[in-house]
Amino acid sequence: MDHIKQKIIEVGLPNAKIVKQLAKEHGDVVTQEVTLGQILTGMKGVVSLLTCTSKLDPVEGIRFRGYSIPELQDLLPKAHEGGQPLPEGVFYLMLTGELPSKEDVSYISEQWATRARGIPSHVFDVINALPKDAHPMIQFNSAILAMSTESKFRKAYLTGMDKKDYWDPTYEGVMDLLSRLPIIAAYIYRRVFHDGKYIDPDPSLDWAGNLAHMMGFEDPVVKDLMRMYMVIHSDHEGGNVSAHTTHLVGSALSNPYYAFSAGMNGLAGPLHGMANQEVMHWINKMKRDIGVEIPTKEQIADYAKQTLANGQVIPGYGHAVLRKTDPRFSVQLEFAEKHAPEAPYIQIARNIYDVVPDILAATGKVKNPWPNVDAISGSLLTTFGIKEFQIYTVLFGVSRALGVLTQLVWDRLYGLPIERPKSQDLAWFKEKAGIK
């Protein structure tokens, strides 16, 4: 048995026992009261999920199995001295709860390079059947669904396996899926934006370095940017739309491809993962409307106020949980300051950061006026040559797979049941509020 599976068994089975014990012997413990307001504003703050891969603190930001992003930059193995951590490392950490060695990370890189070879040809036929101008997320999500013909979970399930072993074929499917996503993403990118001139994977490269290579980027800085992008977007605990959807659909024992593609349909919403594209739309429209290359802070402030007056959101700002600048924003700004501080889009992103929080705070209703991960990711990618912003959410999706699919393995290890919250009609809400 592969050593990662062995590790999952060692760590996972005792925890799975505890989860069962909690549900059975402590099921009547009251954890919190839920208000009408919470139910009607998207269940914010209502603890209703068990997720161990990462935890989001409103002020401090995300921690992966207890480690902050700066800590991970120190502790995870890198492709080269002084570079960014490898996404293989954060995957290992989320999956096993332990920091990986260099060998663990190389093992995962090799596993993914080998498994990537198995994409059936009909997956590319499905992509090619779509119009080239279909949004890349439509192409990406369709390809993921088309790959579910390969589901090892489905095959194992049909043989009538014991439910305590569900996690095993789920893990196999997750490893297959993760290995193939960069190829699918790069294929869509080259199909849509580079006349279908495809570039073969280089099996000697790491997962994210290979993605940059297959997209057509050989600059070591771009490869490092891709590694950072893949690490920081990988997970944001369990309640965000892409994670929660993957979990919910997976709770019906749908195979990992079904569950993940459902999550990706949620990521494609402009309030979630497609905000990175929306930010670039907003910036470019502002440049066009004002007629300058780099709007001043005053021009940005006026434009932001106009956006709000038009009843629109300022993309890249605000968050359902965070109440401070997102550390995923800060780490990207740091990268930009190091490699391209004077690039026009970096100057614009910095100027927006200087003026927009005060404007949002002044509305009195925005709970978090600070930038989230999407406020600068597009500006950074554009600066380094990945200018086609319709691909940004696909890249987010490739990264998010690391977290939500790890969560799915753990859902199956814990034996979590089908999810089924209760709904009520308006009469129930009125009665609770004492409205006649």
Positions marked catalytic: 272, 319, 374
Amino acid at 129: A
Distances (CA, A) of 209 to 81, 85, 337, 381: 15, 11, 22, 14
Query: Which positions from 234 to 263 touch ligand CMX by CB under 6 A, shown as an x/- string?
Result: ------x-----------------------
Cβ-based nearer residue to ligand CMX, 176 or 326: 326
Cα angle 226, 294, 230 (rounded to 5 degrees) comes to 10
> Minimum distance between the CB of residue 115 and ligand CMX, rounded to whole angstroms?
28
With CB under 6 A as the contact rule, the residue among 317, 335, 345, 392 that binds ligand CMX is 317
User: Is the Cβ of residue 168 or residue 326 nearer to ligand CMX in the bound state?
Assistant: 326
Rank residues 139 and 393 by Cβ distance to ligand CMX and give the closer one: 393
The reply on whether position 364 binds ligand CMX by CB under 6 A is: no
The residue whose two tokens read 């068994």 is 9
Options 142, 372, 377, 407; binder of ligand CMX; rule CB under 6 A: 372
Q: Which residues pair with 85 in a beta bridge?
A: 78
Cβ partners under 8 Å of residue 53, min gap 6: 64, 65, 94, 235, 237, 403, 406, 407, 410
Residue 223 near residue 79 (C-beta atoms within 8 A): yes
Distance CA 399, CA 393 (A): 10
Sole binder of ligand CMX in the list 69, 314, 355, 376 (CB under 6 A): 314
CA dist., res. 105 & res. 87, Å (int):
9
Q: Does 403 bind ligand CMX (CB under 6 A)?
A: no
Binding part of the chain for ligand CMX, among 101-109, 201-209, 345-353, 370-378 by CB under 6 A, reads 370-378
CA distances from 191 to 96, 141, 350, 359, 374 (A): 36, 15, 33, 41, 25
Residue 283 binding ligand CMX, by CB under 6 A:
no
Q: Verify binding: residue 109, ligand CMX, rule CB under 6 A.
A: no
Choices 5-13, 107-115, 149-157, 266-274; region in contact with ligand CMX by CB under 6 A? 266-274
- Cβ proximity of 181 and 398 under 8 Å: yes
Residues that bind ligand CMX (CB under 6 A): 240, 271-273, 275, 308, 313-320, 360, 365-368, 372-374
